[in-house]
Amino acid sequence: MKKTLILLMLLLWQGVQAQKGRRLEILFLGDNGHHRPIERLPTLMAALGAKGVNFTYTDRLEDINQKNLAKYDALMIYANWDEITPAAEKALLDYVASGKGILPIHCASFCFRNSPEYVKLVGGQFWRHKMDTIQAKVVLPTHLIVKDLPAIKSYDETYLHSQLQPDNNVLMVREIKADQKADRPETNIEPYTWTRTYGKGRVFYTAYGHDDNTWSNSAFQQLLYNGIIWAVDEGARSAHAALNPKPFEYREAKLPNYERRPGVQLQQFPLSPEESMKHIQVPVDFTLDLFAAEPNVQHPIAMSWDEKGRLYVLITKDYPNERKDTGGSDFILICEDTNKDGKADKFTRFAEGLSIPTGMVFANGGLIVSQAPDMIFLKDTDGDDKADEKKILFSGFGTGDTHAGPSNLHYGFDNWIWGCVGYSGFKGKVGTADTLKFGQALFRFKPDGSKVEWVTSTSNNTWGMGFNEAGDVFGSTANNSHGWYMAIPHRNFLNPGFNTDNGSRSTDTHKDMKPITEKVRQVDVFGGFTAAAGHNFYTARAFPKNYWNQIAFVSEPTGHILHQNLMEKKGTNYEDKESFNLMAGADEWFSPVFAEVGPDGAVWVADWYSFIIQHNPVPKGFDNGLGNAYQTDLRDYTHGRIYRVGWKEAPAYTPLTLSKDRPDELVAALKNSNMFWRSHAQRLLVERGKTDIVPALIALVKDQSVDEIGLNTAAIHAIWALKGLGAIESNKEALQAVIGALKHPSWAVQKNAIQVLPNTQNSTEVILQNDLLNSKEPIIVLNAVLALSELPLTPASEQALLTRMEQATESNDRWLPDAFAVALTSHKSVLLKKHLNKLTSSASTMPMNHDHSAMNHGSATASTTKEAPKALPAPANGIDLIVTNLRAEPSSPYVREGMRYFIDVKNNGKDSLKKGIAVALKVEISGQGQKSTTWSWFHNTGIAAGETVSIAKNTNGPWVGDFYFTTDKAGEYTFDVTLDYENKIEENNEKNNYFSKKITFQQAQKLSTFALERAARSYASVMPADTVAAMLKAWDKLPATENVALLKGISSGWNPRKKGTVNADNQKFLASLSTKLTETNADRLSKLLVAWGLKSSNADEDKDAIVINIKSIKEEMKFDKKEFTVKAGKPVVLVFENPDAMQHNIVIGKQKSMEIIGKAADKMITQKDAAEKGYVPGIPQVIAATPLVNPNETYRLKFTAPAEVGNYPFVCTFPGHWRLMFGTMKVVK
């Protein structure tokens, strides 16, 4: 191995003196196929990041063009594209022929089958395969790629190839075994890795690489690295060698080891900024520049720029455990580049004596700074760039945990200051308002501190908040929700809060991050976002168009990345799409914590640059500090860097300086392409307080133009400037301009115009006159409904809202049902009562003493296709497996409802299938433009002759889950099932292993039904028990769907900790109602009866049940019991209370299964629906499990203790928690 490395280094060093050092750039072409390349590449990124190799992922064939390919040193293909366009084919072939490298991996040999020249370039084409453990043999051991390469042994697809080229330089071959001998009778070996040339370019191919088994193999990773170094041209090799990064140095250290990493724990030594930058990847079109670093900048936690474009940086050396009421060590630093060389050369301390400041924003001629417990105001009154005025605007932020306080302050479109806070929360009295209490939330306040508003709740510790250019509100949470979107603010709800009414949710469609190093240390959510910070959008025009108003930047210091969170609008909602990183570092100290668009349109990044990022829980062997962070002398307080990431093709930047004294320039700045300048200009115009510029603002509002992405940002800022100046209420022309903007070509302008309408009856009429409830843009409908919920209610608006809701067809939209629920409960719930009265008076004569779940959903167009059972052939000798049916539950599913299915397999032979042989199933689902495939190797317990088994589990790599399908599109779907698709089971008849069934998905329930459920939920959460019980009396008069919605909403809305009393008449009714319900709805009613004292909480439980009470310990990530004892085979009721600020669950496993369950839970981080599954792995080791239990909630888990005496583990399987939150259930006789 040493000789190979020496030869490689000699090759790399050729021509080094003539080259500027840089990292290699590899374009990775994937697709959306079954090999899931987007899941394979991160493994390679982490393995090769520290070796100076950058990867850029794309699944767009359009990116195979001359201009784009020219940016890269090599193209790696791992995909199943059937065809290539003539233009892309020419670009690819010309690219390689010009001297660039290409690395087709595995399935890439079956790509572009319409291009004979591509097949020739690769050197062969995939033909067919089986599955087996492969250990290819090196046949050219002197070649640099394979010399001294460790053996690659992996369970993989056993490729056979066709069209093999005679001039392939074969490096590795594999043995052809008996199961493929008939396909290759002429030889015993198959070429498996080879090189070749094409024009001036080099080609490297390996057939290895089916799934993670191979991609995570270190020898395979080394093979690909060697292949890359060999394939790129001489210039790239020399540049890569010239990078010459200083080797990482380590020392043994006492480190937290939440992941239970084996062996001695090592701390990497810090690098200089220049050396660290060699280990940082930015996109190939971008530049990375250092603006400032230690000793001037140390631990930067936030940044902001004033109206002169000067950078202010929050420096905190007291974080996390040295918070001081006075005399702090922290300060605000002005960083200026006076000689215009791109680096700060003048540093001024604007304010000193601070202690753990966490956010700042410019307002009222100074800086507002969040420093728990206070929100403070600092101002320089004499122009010397030093704050000489300091006052507290308001107080109330918790100080119990310094990484859970207020942060991410922004000047909002609405002229308020916005921010976020974690679980340290806020409790205080501001102005004349009542005491306000909230945590894990977004909030806003008046710039003078006179009013604070709790805007929305999040799911956990929150350190991210931002706006897009339309004024939509976003955020991020540290754990498992790196994107968050608010559609409906709390002020619209009866009982706001995360566990009750909440108009915001996670935007995540993926939970995993994409680091470029394997050296990632985390507390929990291993491999996912556990320290996400910030959510600032790209809001300028100095980046490529695909960034504009779409990509937000989320820092993840534990993963050493700055993630690009691409937001896609879907109706009234936003969801993310994987977009990898703007920055990623292989240096373990690289820790981005803040990123924002600067005055020049570049993205500026604060690098905390510290080896220790983790805060709590306190690891074993460590002490806790005053900031609720564990104490360690490894925390560094001396480093910090400020980076600037720019686009190579950015337009030239002309610096600006804004001033209240030049109002015309401020109005002009509202049209600036950078929201940074627009926001400052709007703020200064409002703070100036003069109305002389109102005509100019009106002109901007009236401008009907839109930009390339459909926005008119100047009009939006002008609308809010008019609002801030009070002109909309006092100036008729301003009001008319805003009313006119309701018909603007840009939906974003329309939305903001709705939001500033005065709270008058005239505004109600304006919304109705403009028919905004029937807009084609869902967000306009949403905001119109919300506005009418707050504006004076008129007979016309009552009728319009109810009619629109009842006729709504957008049942699949995420937030419209919630908006109409808000309307039903607004104005003292008058519309809810009228809607129920209308339903009861117009109900059909169909008996109503049943519920929707008991009804037959089926119809000729909404059901599974019923087929007469086919006669089976007479049993024959041997084994004969046949799929006899696919059963769906429910049999007539609705879209968004989800459907489990079961596949019945019969052994129609006379011989039994032995235990240990897996029954392989492949299920291909197609319809309505959708296509998906799932597999199962779950059933391996044998099938006796004549026996039928029902298989309900799928296999997804190491994961096992239920056969499950859901869709957003109504219509017919075909389920094609292939049994033993690899022909591993010897059967007497291989031709009857196929089964097909069609299932029709119905449209989901009416929007009005779901709105009723949500409204009832909200109503029940605030009303007395008698009032709620009285509403249930409508049960017998309501249509079947609505009575279930009403009960479901009331049951879920009533807080079980809130006791209630009902009068005798209502008690009699409830007793009668309980006799009419199905089991599901009886359970819902039972919850209410228990809370209202009409039924014992144990009434439905076995009298012999053992009741175990267990709690999580707040902020310690532990259970309050390490063990409990139950009797074998007896019923158990486990009452789990969660007083912690995070979600937890309890999973009980089979004996000696804790590590298996824990690791399976960790791997769920990449699953889109993992949170919906409560992070409970679908594996046979799980005996029983609770769902994720929200903070301050309790869950009762009922199960039967195992019959076998022994010790059974219980753990929390929220990713990573199992290593700390575990115990033992002792089963005794």
Domain ranges of the chain: 2-243, 280-335+351-647, 656-756, 881-1001, 1106-1228
Chain mean pLDDT for the chain:
91
Tell me the pLDDT tens digit for each residue of 569-623: 999 999 999 999 999 999 999 999 999 999 999 999 999 999 999 888 888 889 9
Q: Which residue has the tokens 């949403």?
A: 782
Of 1001, 814, 1029, 994, the C-alpha closest to 897 is: 1001
Helix (H) or strand (E) holding 227, with range, is helix 218-231
**Overall average pLDDT of the 248-273 stretch:** 92
Between CA 606 and CA 619 the distance in angstroms is 28
In CATH, 881-1001 is 1.20.1540.10: no
Strand order in the sheet with 1106-1113: 1118-1119, 1106-1113, 1131-1138, 1193-1200
- Strand 101-104 to strand 201-206: parallel, antiparallel, or no bridges (unpaired)? parallel
Of 178, 131, 39, the C-alpha closest to 935 is: 131
Strand, coil or helix: 596: strand
Q: Which residues pair with 886 in a beta bridge?
A: 903
The whole-number pLDDT of residue 220 equals 98
Q: Which residues pair with 484 in a beta bridge?
A: 475, 506
DSSP 820: H
Between CA 448 and CA 191 the distance in angstroms is 74
According to DSSP H, which parts of 793-923 are helical? 795-806, 816-842
The whole-number pLDDT of residue 855 equals 32
Please check whether residue 1161 is in contact with residue 1175, taking contact to mean a CB–CB distance below 8 angstroms: yes
Question: Which position has the higher pLDDT, 1000 or 564?
Answer: 564
Of 870, 1176, 909, 866, the C-alpha closest to 998 is: 866
The whole-number pLDDT of residue 21 equals 95
- Cis omega (within 30 of 0) for bond into 295: yes
**Overall average pLDDT of the 1044-1066 stretch:** 91
Largest CA distance in the chain: 100
Residue 598: CB atoms within 10 A of its CB come to: 24
Residues 6+ apart with CB under 8 A from 804: 773, 774, 781, 785, 820
* Residue 414 one-letter amino acid: D
**Overall average pLDDT of the 953-965 stretch:** 72
Angular region, 995: left φ>0, alpha ψ -120 to 50, beta rest: beta
Between CA 1049 and CA 821 the distance in angstroms is 11
Q: Which two tokens stand for residue 1130?
A: 């007896």
Between CA 842 and CA 753 the distance in angstroms is 38
Burial of 668: CB neighbours in 10 Å, binned 0-12, 13-18, 19+: middle
Between CA 307 and CA 262 the distance in angstroms is 52
The whole-number pLDDT of residue 1212 equals 95
Please check whether residue 1138 is in contact with residue 1190, taking contact to mean a CB–CB distance below 8 angstroms: yes
Helix (H) or strand (E) holding 336, with range, is strand 330-336
Q: In the chain, pLDDT over 70 holds for what percent of residues?
A: 93
Please check whether residue 89 is in contact with residue 120, taking contact to mean a CB–CB distance below 8 angstroms: no
Res 852 pLDDT > 60: no
Tell me the pLDDT tens digit for each residue of 965-1021: 876 566 798 999 989 876 788 888 766 888 999 999 876 578 999 899 999 999 999
Q: Which two tokens stand for residue 967?
A: 């869709």
Exposure on the CB side of residue 45, measured as CA atoms within 13 A: 29
The whole-number pLDDT of residue 847 equals 41
Helix (H) or strand (E) holding 709, with range, is none
Q: Which residue has the tokens 């329309």?
A: 750
The whole-number pLDDT of residue 82 equals 95
Q: Which two tokens stand for residue 626?
A: 């005053």
Please check whether residue 1023 is in contact with residue 1035, taking contact to mean a CB–CB distance below 8 angstroms: no
Query: 1039-1078 as b/e, with b when 16 or more CB fall inside 10 Å?
Result: bbbbbbbbbbbbbbbbeeeeebebeeebbebbeebeebbe
Q: What is the pTM of this model?
A: 0.84
Between CA 203 and CA 174 the distance in angstroms is 20
Tell me the pLDDT tens digit for each residue of 526-536: 788 999 999 99
Between CA 682 and CA 697 the distance in angstroms is 10
The whole-number pLDDT of residue 10 equals 47
**Overall average pLDDT of the 637-647 stretch:** 97
**Overall average pLDDT of the 1175-1193 stretch:** 88
The whole-number pLDDT of residue 660 equals 97
The whole-number pLDDT of residue 1153 equals 95
Between CA 536 and CA 1156 the distance in angstroms is 39
The dihedrals phi and psi of 231, each to the nearest 5 degrees, come to: -80, -35
Q: Which residues pair with 933 in a beta bridge?
A: 924
Residues 6+ apart with CB under 8 A from 218: 47, 150
Of 1169, 1006, 1197, the C-alpha closest to 506 is: 1169
**Overall average pLDDT of the 855-867 stretch:** 35
The whole-number pLDDT of residue 573 equals 95
Between CA 787 and CA 793 the distance in angstroms is 10
The whole-number pLDDT of residue 499 equals 66
Q: Which two tokens stand for residue 644?
A: 């600037």
Res 1097 pLDDT > 90: no
The dihedrals phi and psi of 953, each to the nearest 5 degrees, come to: -115, 140
The whole-number pLDDT of residue 13 equals 44
- Tell me the CA distances in angstroms from 424 to 96, 801, 1110, one per residue in order: 57, 40, 24
Q: Which residues pair with 312 in a beta bridge?
A: 304, 334
Q: Class of the 2-243 domain? A: alpha beta
Angular region, 916: left φ>0, alpha ψ -120 to 50, beta rest: left
- Cis omega (within 30 of 0) for bond into 617: yes
Q: Which residues pair with 203 in a beta bridge?
A: 102, 196
Looking at the chain, the number of H-run helices and the number of E-run strands are: 27, 58
Residues 6+ apart with CB under 8 A from 632: 254, 256, 612, 622
In CATH, 280-335+351-647 is 2.40.30.40: no
Query: 1103-1136 as b/e, with b when 16 or more CB fall inside 10 Å?
Result: eebeebebbbeebebbbeeeebebeeeebbbbeb
Q: At what angle do helices 1007-1022 and 1040-1053 cross, to 10 degrees?
A: 30
Between CA 463 and CA 480 the distance in angstroms is 12
Res 113 pLDDT > 60: yes
Res 76 pLDDT > 50: yes
Burial of 153: CB neighbours in 10 Å, binned 0-12, 13-18, 19+: middle
Res 868 pLDDT > 50: no
* Residue 479 one-letter amino acid: N
Q: At what angle do helices 713-724 and 747-755 cross, to 10 degrees?
A: 10
What confidence category does residue 725 fall into, taking pLDDT thresholds of 50, 70 and 90? Answer: very high
Query: 984-996 as b/e, with b when 16 or more CB fall inside 10 Å?
Result: ebebeeeeebebe
Same fold, 280-335+351-647 and 1106-1228: no
What radius of gyration do the chain's Cα atoms show?
32
What confidence category does residue 1139 fall into, taking pLDDT thresholds of 50, 70 and 90? Answer: confident
Res 958 pLDDT > 60: no
In CATH, 1106-1228 is 2.60.40.420: yes
**Overall average pLDDT of the 630-652 stretch:** 96
